[in-house]
Structure 1
Amino acid sequence: MKIAVLSSHTSSLFWFRMDMMKDFVKKGHTVIALGSEPEAHWKRKFEAHNIDYRQLHVERNGINPLKDLKTLKSLYNFMKKERPDKIFAYQAKTVVYGSIAAKINGISEVYSLIAGLGSIFRGKGLKNNIVKTIMKMEYWVACKCSKKVLFQNHDDKNEFIQNGLIEDEKTVIINGSGVDLEKFKPTPLPEAPAFLFIGRLIKDKGIMEYLDACREVKRRHPEARCLLVGPYDTNPSALKSEELHPYIESGIIEYYGEQSDVRDFIAQCSTFVLPSYHEGTPKTVLEAMAMGRAIITSDAPGCRETVTDGKNGFLVKVKDVQDLINKMEYLVLNQDASRIMGAEGVEVAKEKYDVKRVNKTILKIMALN
């Protein structure tokens, strides 16, 4: 079969969906990946895995209706020409316009993944509420055009059902993107306590809470390290370089920018921290768990599924810097706890988040196994 995988962010497509697409190829299917970034930069990277890559005209964070119509037209023309047998779409714009374009072209095998609802869906204010109302209408249409809609946590699924966007029988829960346990393996913890945040530098990821907590933890425990890995972003809540610079200059934060391979940085930490406001299922948390790191993350949609509080890490209240400081300091003072929690996390990764199991579930849902 010919399978099209749609995303509005090429980097996410390559790093988060490659294992799934490779499994499609192993089953003998043709895979075409569509993302937002130029073919000149990405085509060879995808071709190395026997996947064709095409650039899609999509603006990930924009709300210009004329540009969105261009996205719809681009997807319509692609599907009219290529006639894919099945479509896997994730991220808001490609879910919405991909499912509509498929419906117009008579393609019924659309599988949409809701990998987190984002800041607009859970935000407040007049402008936000107007955009949210439009988004709900678009998601309702997308769900009608999809054969199955996949969710990575029950909070997001229930949100859709309670808002009348989808019927329960059309939904499926999967355990995130999974983690490659052959690539992410346990490594020894460092001698000194060290914390690590990996993610796009947007405020909804809890980056400001992490920075403020690190400032206080470093003041109390100068021997502790606080690492930060991730790119700046175009999201409306993106952190600006001038906001981060004082933390770097004062030695609170060690900033390493965007990295294509995060394993060396996970190996340098004893605890992984992601105080995000909402997620689908955070892949970086799964990778850190697989490498034997204790986790501190939010008691928030998508995050709370990854941690049993006190077992493989701690859950902290959303936007509560003091709660985060308390949990970080506890692990500075009780380094054996990091080791015990890290070992527990490895078992959770094996039992629940092994990418082979996750992809096997997706293959079954899409009738590709």
Structure 2
Amino acid sequence: MKTFLLIASFPDSLIKFRGPLLRALVAKGLDVHVAAPDLADVPDIRFELEALCITLHEIGLTRTGTNPVVDLGTVAELWGLMRRIRADYVLGYTIKPVIYGSLAAWLAGVPNRFALVTGLGYAFTGEASGKRGLLRKLIQRLYRFGLSQSRKVFFQNPDDEALFRQQGLLPVSIPSCMVNGSGVDVADYSLAPLPAEPSFLLIARLLGDKGVREYAQAAKMVKAQHPNAVFRLVGWIDGNPDAISQQELDEWVNSGTLKFLGKLADVRPAIANSNVYVLPSYREGTPRTVLESMAMGRPVITTDAPGCRETVVHGDNGFLVPVQAVNELAEAMIRFIEDPELVNRMGERSRQIAEQKYDVHKVNEFMLGEMGIQ
């Protein structure tokens, strides 16, 4: 039996983003292992994975830390794990699992080493100056070194793939291919009736680069003309340097601009209670929340930015607006309020695109084939 190791930096993503892939690997007859930090804090996820006969390994990976000694310890820990389980395949996703997982797999002699670039994150957005600029240079060097040891690299949008090639982060000798995001289970995220009131929704970590401030500013502008419009926000504040402050969030809520729902384990009720999904992000891999909303028949307003622009055909299943363009964002929202038929028509197209392009089973079958798993 071949052994497959999946490396993650955020345990909550294991079921939500990679659950169908893990099930597909088990169904193919592989001995599946998962390595991630903080697994002890998510007993429900542990139980669900162990019920699939997946072996879990707690690792000391810090998602946002920059201590080189700690990160070297992570590489050593992963190397030891791969040697112990005799891994035949390794796949890491997000920055540190990609970089350190690739290095450890190479050192451990794992024959099939793969990486999935799900987005570029904080270091690649905004101005390349100060701490962000230094972090960007460090991450670029680490990517260049780590990915040179991979057999193949998966990207979720063509802009990221082109950037890695142009900047020499991915050697010309290493093949790469495009995959349609993480996919969405169109059976689990089924069509839901549209509510009567004009209502908008954003689901995201509360970061500046996700466009949360632009969403709040546009909501304030729209409510001045259409006070009955509702703007909901789902998410949480984490330790990212670009995080929204609690004071900002409180001001939006107390002023009546936004309704904050916090962090939800299941976002489907929030999507069902909205007419239009909005993601004014500066850059994404392929945003999973957009795919979920499309599958549930919601039109989308997002930015003409890497990762986001792939999900929307402008004027077909939603609208694309420039990054950080509050006025254009507000105008797109008002179009849906003043022409409710747009919501119905574009929502139907979103569902069709989700079924045709982003069905998780199609996405995973493609990835398995590209990894040589039949």
TM class, shorter-chain normalised? over 0.9
Query: 1:227, 1:145 → 2: CA distance?
Result: 44
Q: 1:21: which partner in 2?
A: 22
Of residues 80, 85, 89, the one that matches 2:88 is 85
Shift of 1:105: 0.8
Query: 1:169, 1:149 → 2: CA distance?
Result: 8
Query: 1:102, 1:235 → 2: CA distance?
Result: 28
Q: 2:147: which partner in 1?
A: 143
Letter in 2 for 1:285: V
Instruction: List structure 1 runs of 4+ shifted beyond 3 angstroms.
Output: none
Could you list the per-position Cα deviations for residues 100-154 of structure 1 after superposition, in whole angstroms to 9, with x for gaps in the alignment? Answer: 1111111131110011111212341043332222211211122211110000000
Q: Which moved more, 1:177-186 or 1:37-46?
A: 37-46
Secondary structure in 1 matching 2:262 = coil
Shift of 1:168: 7.4
Secondary structure in 2 matching 1:309 = coil
Tell me if structure 2 keeps the 8 A contact 1:39–1:54: no
Correspondence 1:51-70 to 2 at 5 A: 51-70=54-73
Point out where structure 1 has 5 or more consecutive residues left out of the alignment: none
Secondary structure in 2 matching 1:57 = coil
Of residues 164, 174, 177, the one that matches 2:179 is 174
Tell me if structure 2 keeps the 8 A contact 1:155–1:301: yes
Point out where structure 2 has 5 or more consecutive residues left out of the alignment: none
Query: 1:41, 1:315 → 2: CA distance?
Result: 37
Q: 2:350: which partner in 1?
A: 345
Q: Is 1:162 matched with 2:166?
A: yes
Aligned residues: 369
Query: 2:228, 2:169 → 1: CA distance?
Result: 50
Could you list the per-position Cα deviations for residues 73-113 of structure 1 after superposition, in whole angstroms to 9, with x for gaps in the alignment? Answer: 22112112112110111111111111111111111311100
Task: Specify whether residues 356 and 4 from structure 1 end up closer, same or farther in structure 2 by C-alpha distance, changes over 3 A only.
Answer: same
Letter in 1 for 2:3: K
Q: Is 1:8 matched with 2:9?
A: yes
Of residues 207, 212, 224, the one that matches 1:219 is 224
Q: 1:192: which partner in 2?
A: 197
Q: 1:244: which partner in 2?
A: 249
Query: 1:91, 1:169 → 2: CA distance?
Result: 18
Secondary structure in 2 matching 1:242 = helix
Q: 2:105: which partner in 1?
A: 102
Letter in 2 for 1:181: V
Percent of residue pairs bearing the same amino acid type: 39
Aligned-pair RMSD on alpha carbons? 1.3
Q: 1:202: which partner in 2?
A: 207
Tell me if structure 1 keeps the 8 A contact 2:88–2:112: yes
Could you list the per-position Cα deviations for residues 50-72 of structure 1 after superposition, in whole angstroms to 9, with x for gaps in the alignment? Answer: 32222111111111112211211
TM score, norm. by length of structure 2 = 0.96
Correspondence 1:251-290 to 2 at 5 A: 251-290=256-295
Shift of 1:165: 2.1
Q: Which moved more, 1:299-308 or 1:249-258?
A: 249-258
TM score, norm. by length of structure 1 = 0.97
Secondary structure in 1 matching 2:153 = strand
